[in-house]
Amino acid sequence: ANLPVPTIAAIDGAALGGGLELALACDIRVAASSAKMGLVETKLAIIPGAGGTQRLPRTIGVSLAKELIFSARIVNGEEAKSIGLISHVVEQNESGDAAYRRALALAREFLPQGPVAMRVAKLAINQGMEVDLVTGLAIEEACYAQTIPTKDRIEGLLAFKEKRPPRYKGE
């Protein structure tokens, strides 16, 4: 969750218990419609212990998270998408890697962006979600200020002006 780059979980099979908790620590989750997901620990007389009780409610809402954890219910990709647990659901392919392929496509969309901007955008979002709006806006302003003196910002403006792709260096 605290990696300074975007993270994408690709769920092509089962993500139960700790597997789903790992996926919940990622910024974006993609799953095949046939994937199985759930925090099933209560079936074992324990609770999710790697962030599930905190991240699942923040992702899908408190009441629904309680229902899923209390029941140890397993959902497929379609249901996971409908409750907001995942961002994208794809039909599984013959290779069994449809979610992985979709995750790679998303990553390719992220790659051309300015590395410094990506890092501080993630920081602003993550920190801002933990505080009230006024404080969150102050965090955003501080993160925005970090992008202003960068060489990448100058390169982005120049590339826009010259109608060419930018060549960012993370500086």
List the catalytic residue out of 41, 78, 79, 109.
41
Active site residue 41: yes
CATH 1.10.12.10 residue spans of the chain? 115-162
Active site residue 140: no
User: What is the Cα–Cα distance from 47 to 140, expressed in whole angstroms?
Assistant: 34
Domain at 8-111: CATH architecture = Alpha-Beta Complex (3.90)
DSSP-assigned letter for residue 49: -
- Nearest-5° angle of CA 104, CA 154, CA 148? 90
User: What is the Cα–Cα distance from 106 to 74, expressed in whole angstroms?
Assistant: 26
CATH 3.90.226.10 residue spans of the chain? 8-111
- CATH, domain 115-162, list 1.10.12.10, 3.50.50.60, 3.40.30.10, 3.40.50.720: 1.10.12.10
List the catalytic residue out of 21, 67, 141, 171.
21
Say what the pLDDT of residue 139 is: 94
pLDDT tens by residue, the chain, 171 residues: 889 999 999 999 999 999 999 999 999 999 999 999 999 999 999 999 899 999 999 999 999 999 999 999 999 999 999 999 999 999 999 999 999 999 999 999 999 999 999 999 999 999 999 999 999 999 999 999 999 999 999 999 999 999 999 999 989
Using an 8 Å Cβ cutoff, are 27 and 129 in contact? no
This prediction has a pTM of 0.86
